Structure 1
């Protein structure tokens, strides 16, 4: 596995649970170790982050009942006060509830609002700052069979497909994945909605690097749904579903995050209720993920899982134990071996710059 070197990582956290907010950390290129440099609590509950392509602007959701999006200037410098992310302007309301995920696409920052089951698109200015109001809000509709978790839509993730033509949102409340188009005016238009197994509760999706397969991690059923993806017409077709755990979980498992290796040979998932990471080997087409191992996350409640761009290190943001653990990845087996940890209270995500 190869890839570009990175100098900085950024960790989101829940300030309401004692987290420091947005944390910047240095990344050791040889060991993958993180060293915390600075933090800012300028925005409450910045639970998910995204970096601009130039790595000079960092975006965060504010996962609150009156949710918002915020932009920070980040330096990627070599120490001192310049390592603290600097809030660019007043956060922009998403006109929705509890945004949990965001992505940059075609000049806009798009958020998935879990509480209100909607997507919000905000224009991004040339300097990386955000427009003061959304260009559009697209509300999901529907429900699922789970009596507590699926009474209404719950948009949990939004991302652009590998072709850059489509916006894909994953909705836990409606057991579906929506494929949308983003217009030049920032309006989001539903292209098609793809139903998954009722009660599965899809949470996050990751694409195979070849761009022809997508993997949906389900939260209410601890499974992985393999889908065919056709970028030409924005078509998603479920092919199979496989467990992410070797045996029946003790109670609710709550899978949380999924990443795919840059070379497409391995896939990893995190499961909060079991505090484990699952390792899958992928065939060349990516059709049949094969569970090869589960390993402890060496923390409690791994909310997010991130892969170093080189593919050599895997990071688990352990929310309830308040740390980020990193693992060296065996290039032949994909097996993660614990290499270290750093304290970040209420850690919720990790991104690399």
Structure 2
């Protein structure tokens, strides 16, 4: 098993790094080895994988977009790129069955859908641009809409999270055209960033970057009704320094929610009760600064969080019964990491 980590390339980093995960000889169950660069690319702050293909954000100077790389004879080769003037997207999602990619551009407010081939050829299908309909009161929201997430819903519609407008928007891709279906409005200043869904598809959990909160919402993809159940803070009540909540994950069994905190520098663990309300289970340090992303292996036994500002990552063992994380390896060197992916 191996891990891929990418992020900003403003200081020491130059692309996407690969780290082996192997059985440890130091008394630990597993251990991460040294990071080595496998793809040279600008600002791979988010990327996804389909077999031997990796699709990544690409910050190419005065242009930004996405690029496709394919593993050929043990090395990744660039196969195609779609770059436009201006900033690169913040998020890229994937539909492997239909060979589609979904991007959200925080700076330009553009959501886009691409198709791809087995050889990594990219084609733009459609795009929409968010407008300043419900801008929040925070300084980070004053300059316009900021979509930060665009991916599939349980019923294969599409969903975006807009930090500037404090909202969740739902779309359908019909005849290669994006059609807006519904909107859920978070409280002003929430800073809607990322979203996950319950296994039964009847609830979603949306994290607010600016508010450091998780909002639990019951909803229907049949008639687009929404009911806010409760909202929970990801940080302690007495924490007064700046914090920006970032990534959110839900376990496959739907019993636990995990959120990273940039500022408090921790991962918050919530247990999901039978009525879908949350119960705080743990706040565990990431042993570094500014953890934007974290992820787990397919079995959800091991979790890795990467710290963007301190150039290091932490490996945890996850307890499936209580959801808690136990750090087993710290200070793993990875420069400017923002995206974590256990490789196929």
Instruction: Report the TM-score, using the length of structure 1 for normalisation.
Output: 0.87
Relative contact order, CA 8 A, sep 6+: which one is greater? 1
Change (3 A) 1:96 1:335: same
Q: Distance in 1 between matches of 2:219 and 2:36?
A: 40
Q: Provide the aligned C-alpha RMSD in A.
A: 2.1
Aligned counterpart, 2:166: 175
Deviation for aligned residue 1:324: 1.9
Secondary structure of 1:88's match?
A: strand
Q: Distance in 2 between matches of 1:219 and 1:29?
A: 36
Deviation for aligned residue 1:107: 3.0
Q: 1:235-250 maps to which residues of 2 (within 5 A)?
A: 235-250=225-240
Aligned counterpart, 1:297: 286
Deviation for aligned residue 1:257: 1.0
Match of 2:63 among 48, 54, 66: 66
Gaps of 5+ in 2: none
Aligned counterpart, 1:320: 309
The reply on whether 1:258 has 2:252 as its aligned counterpart is no
Deviation for aligned residue 1:63: 4.5
Q: Distance in 2 between matches of 1:263 and 1:344?
A: 31
Q: Distance in 2 between matches of 1:29 and 1:104?
A: 30
Instruction: Report the TM-score, using the length of structure 2 for normalisation.
Output: 0.90
The reply on whether 1:129 has 2:121 as its aligned counterpart is yes
Aligned counterpart, 1:190: 180
More strand by share: 2
Aligned counterpart, 2:337: 347
Change (3 A) 1:38 1:130: farther
Q: Is the 8 A contact 1:144 1:151 kept in 2?
A: no
Aligned counterpart, 1:332: 321
How many residues are paired up?
A: 333
Match of 1:215 among 177, 198, 205: 205
Change (3 A) 1:111 1:96: farther
Q: Is the 8 A contact 1:194 1:237 kept in 2?
A: no
The reply on whether 1:111 has 2:106 as its aligned counterpart is no
Q: Distance in 2 between matches of 1:232 and 1:32?
A: 44
Aligned counterpart, 1:87: 78
Gaps of 5+ in 1: 1-6, 76-80
Segment of structure 1 superposing worse, 231-240 or 338-347? 231-240
Aligned counterpart, 1:4: none
Change (3 A) 1:33 1:234: farther
Match of 2:87 among 88, 91, 97: 97
